[in-house]
Structure 1
C-alpha cells in the first residue's frame, strides 16, 4: 500500500547492531538471535537485507565498538548505509539504495529502541514507506539514570504505539519474529 509507484518489494533493515551499541542492551542475545534468524529468512526468500551502521564522536568509525556484532555476518553484496544521525535516512544513501531495489516496505530491526529505531520508523513512514517493526528484534540500554523508563517498558511502549501507526496511503505495525512475512502487505 506504499505511496511509491513501482516499488513493490520489501527489505529487511538491520539498524546499528554494533558492538558498542548493544553491549549493555536488554535481552541482547535474544534480540541478536532473532535478527540473525530474520537475516537468514530474508536471504532464503531473496529479500534484500540492508545494513545501517552508525558512527559519531562516541562510536568511532573502524573501532571495535563500531563493528557489527560477531553473530551477524553481512554479505558483501548486501547494501551498507553509513549514518551519523538517529534517522537512518537523514544525510545518507538509504533512500537511493531502497529506490534502486524497488523497495516500498521495510521490516525494521536493531538498536536502540528509543533513539535510532524510533527515528528511523518515523523517518520511513513520513517519506512514504510501509513500515513494520519486529517487536522482539529491537532493544535498548538502561537509561533510567537519566529519567527514562526501564528498557522493557521502552520496548513495550514502542511496540504498542507502532502497532497503531498509519498515514495516508501507508501502513505500519508491529509483529513478532515468528510472524514476519516478507511477502505480505500489512
Structure 2
C-alpha cells in the first residue's frame, strides 16, 4: 500500500472509493495471513502538518502490519522493502496506492525487475486531480497504467491487473 497519506489524498481522484477498496483488500489479506506493508513518503521538505503525514485512518496500519518510510517513487529504494520481502519469502506483490504514474508505476516495475510476480489492483490506485482541461485526466492516467501493465512483458514473471474484489490471497 503506497503513500496512502492524508495530505497526499486531499486532492486525489476517487479518493474515497480507492480508500474503501484498499481497506477491504487489506482486511482480506490480514484474514488470510498475508503480510500488509504500508509505504509512507517522507514529506519533510514540504510544509505539511505532522498529522496530515499520517496514513489515512481508513487504511491505517494494524498490529502486525509493516510501515516503511521512503524518499523516492521507487518503494524499494532505501526503504528496506526488499529485505522485508526476502525475510518473509514473499514472491507475489499486490500493489495499491497513490500517485499512479509515479510511485505505483515505479514500485511495480521495480518489483518485476527484482523477480517478484505482480498483481496491480486496477481500482486500487489513484493520482492527483488535475485542473480542468489538462490531459490526461486522472481516470485516463489510471486506465493507461492498467492497460500498460496488462500487456507488459517480464520473462518469468506473472503479471495480473485485476479489480480489488477479484484479488485472492490463497
Question: TM-score scaled to structure 2, two decimals?
Answer: 0.93
Residues 1:30 and 2:20 are matched in the alignment = no
Counterpart of 1:46 (choices 24, 28, 33) is 33
The 1-side partners of 2:135 and 2:100 are apart by 12
Counterpart of 1:58 (choices 30, 34, 46) is 46
Shift of 1:157: 0.6
Residues 1:171 and 2:158 are matched in the alignment = yes
Shift of 1:148: 4.8
Q: Deviations over 1:97-117 (max 9, x none)?
A: 001111011000110111100
Greater helix content: 2
Contact 2:25 2:165 in 1 (8 A): no
Aligned to 2:151, the other structure's residue is in SS state coil
The 2-side partners of 1:146 and 1:103 are apart by 42
Large movers: runs of 4+ above 3 Å:
143-148
Question: TM-score scaled to structure 1, two decimals?
Answer: 0.85
Shift of 1:146: 10
C-alpha change, 1:64 and 1:87, in structure 2 (3 Å) is same
Any gaps of 5 or more consecutive residues in structure 1? 1-13
Shift of 1:39: 0.8
Q: Deviations over 1:29-78 (max 9, x none)?
A: 00000000001100111111011000131276x71221011112312321
Residues 1:133 and 2:107 are matched in the alignment = no
Greater strand content: 1
C-alpha change, 1:81 and 1:35, in structure 2 (3 Å) is same
Matched with 1:92 is: 79
The 2-side partners of 1:167 and 1:146 are apart by 35
Contact 1:20 1:59 in 2 (8 A): no
The 1-side partners of 2:127 and 2:63 are apart by 27
Residues 1:156 and 2:143 are matched in the alignment = yes
Instruction: Tell me the number of residue pairs that the alignment of Structure 1 and Structure 2 aligns.
Output: 169
